[in-house]
Amino acid sequence: MRLFHHLIAPLALVLAGCSTTQTIALEGVEDIQFLGGGAVSAADPRATAAGEAILSQGGSATDAGIAVMLALTVVEPQSSGIGGGGFMLRADGETGALASFDGRETAPAAATVNRFLDGDGKVLKRETRVFSGLSVGVPGNIALAAEAHAKHGTLPWAALFEPAIALARDGFIMNRRLYESLSQNKGRADKTDAARAVFFGADGEPLPIGATVRVPALADTLEVLAKAGPEAIYGHSAAAALAAYVADETPQDGRMTPADITAYQAKERTPVCAPYRTYRVCGMGPPSSGGVAVAQMLGQLEGHDLAALGPDNPQFWHLFVESQRLAYADRELYSGDTDFVVVPVAGLVDAGYLKQRAMLISPDTALAKAEAGVPPGAPLARGDGPEEPENGTTHFAVVDAAGNAVSYTSTVEGAFGSGLYWRGFYLNNELTDFTLTPEADGKPVANRVEGGKRPRSSMAPTIVYDADGRIVLVIGAAGGPTIPVQVARAIIGVVDFGLSAESALGLPFIMSFGDSVLIEKGTALEGMEAALKALGHASIRTGAPPLKANALRLLPDGGWEVAVDPRLQSKLTYE
């Protein structure tokens, strides 16, 4: 845990290319005092430093958040970047007013509902549907950044690119996390000659831990973006080149065109807010399902004294799993892109509806089957079809000297996205977040593929206010469908259990997947397996889910706790 009352470290300490300074970035960062106010929490200390450098120049939380996103494009290419998209939640430090920006990727206009099916109506092989242009949506992160910067930025646009350009041009040190991700995703990370030349040696193996990685093509791309702005991706010339590359890699269905890219727009959406105890929890609305799912889980549990139970009691984890099951049943049936389908957001978080759903949760036994409810305004004719498992993603949180807060989740979907590599960055495979089949039981699926549509997401950037309207927690997570569960669990940890943000992020993980329950290997939950089975959770398995979360928590003296999931910290080594 890092406690900051002042920010900013000299950027050279963490951006320099030698292993000595990289060690300083990890082992000495807690001792560095910063100039100016605010705090940054990101998945890589070099990206954190990029955000801190922007704050030190008087940049806003929005400016710093954009700089972090750009830096992560360089040092964490397996998780996010300018070839993908994201969601940003921004809160005004003085008024508390919220704005949310949707930079989710879109399907090509010519995409059909049968995009992931063969001529016989069967789902295509995973390699065909994921590792090709079929999975690539129009990238949205730069459009999101430009929209947010125009409204809430203070520094010049070009200044936000400087840390990332330095990392890409001068090089960064290969850490264990990136090395392991490259090793585990051969065939995807090294799909192209260009990517192999950056991250792999002549023997076909990833560069070793401690090696300096330079990405000159990405440095060039970022320099053009810094000078030309979004036109460097969404302008006619750039769009024609990117569209042609993706189209050439697309084996069937509607191929991407320049018009798909030039027409792309980041959109402001209405945030989803709901009370929990004496707090107000706000998140992202559709096409993200995260804000609704977090609000539902918390709302369904509010009638239980979770503080009295505590995290050492199996009954708490039982109640938490049951609330997940109900929230995710609703998610599967109703969530999608509101530009194409009716999503009854207000009904899904309605207090009366959540009380009805909460009555289905028994403290003593699990539901035989968790089914979707019928919230106010719900369309009745909906089906629930199969989907590709979600993965990847990164989250970062920023607060600036004025108290403005940004909670930003960014992604390319799976590790290294589609594997397609364009001008120094990986292109997403976000379109596999659509449901693979357009109908289920003769009913249309809300999240089916349609031209121009944005796939449903689990991303859940979240900001929590106390009873006085102060921003007290800025939080989010990565890890596909586990994201809303991670966020809800951490909020319960802070609000109900009185934990620090870092301790809350480090709580054991448990999640319902269909009729089975996954408990995190090596945690106290393993010792509760018998008790959970006695409560009706018959099918329990242990595993190591992809968990990664970041948060900022307001301290009583007005400073900020900078929290990173302990699981992530253990992987950011250079040994």
Q: Rounded to an integer, what is the distance from CA 463 to the centroid of its chain?
A: 14
d(CA 360, CA 74): 47
d(CA 456, CA 288): 6
d(CA 511, CA 293): 13
What is the residue whose two structure tokens read 């307001």?
A: 554
Residues shown for the chain: 575
Q: Rounded to an integer, what is the distance from CA 255 to the centroid of its chain?
A: 27
Question: Residue 275, preceding bond cis, omega within 30 degrees?
Answer: no
Structure tokens at 322: 């049951």
Question: Which residues in 254-285 are b (16+ Cβ under 10 Å) and which e?
Answer: bbbbbebbbebebbebebbbbbbbebbbbbbb
CB 510 within 8 A of CB 517: yes
Interacting residues of 352 by C-beta distance below 8 A, sequence separation 6+: none
Structure tokens at 546: 């992809």
Per DSSP, the three-state class of 34 is strand
- Which stretches does DSSP call E strand in 161-309? 172-173, 212-213, 267-269, 272-276, 279-283
d(CA 358, CA 376): 16
DSSP string, 69-130: HHHHHHH-TTT--TTSEEEEEEE-TTT--EEEEEE--B--TT--TTTTB-TTSPBPPHHHHH
Residue 156 Cα distances to 57, 62, 151, 152, 252, angstroms: 11, 12, 12, 12, 42
d(CA 294, CA 485): 7
Question: Which residues in 406-434 are b (16+ Cβ under 10 Å) and which e?
Answer: bbbbbbbbbbbbbbbbbbbbbbbbbbbbb
CB 406 within 8 A of CB 54: no
Residue by residue, what is the 3-state secondary structure of 37-71? CEEEECCCHHHHHHHHHHHHCCCCHHHHHHHHHHH
Query: Of 48, 393, 409, 437, which one is the catalytic site residue?
Result: 393
d(CA 574, CA 173): 8
DSSP string, 290-358: HHHHHHHHHHHHTTS-HHHH-TT-HHHHHHHHHHHHHHHHHHHHH-S-TTTS---HHHHT-HHHHHHHH
CB atoms within 10 A of CB 369: 8
Would residue 393 show up in a list of annotated catalytic residues for this protein? Answer: yes
What is the residue whose two structure tokens read 């001792």?
A: 31
Torsion angle defined by CA atoms of residues 250, 255, 258 and 262, in that order, rounded to the nearest 10 degrees: -110
**Catalytically active residues, by annotation:** 393
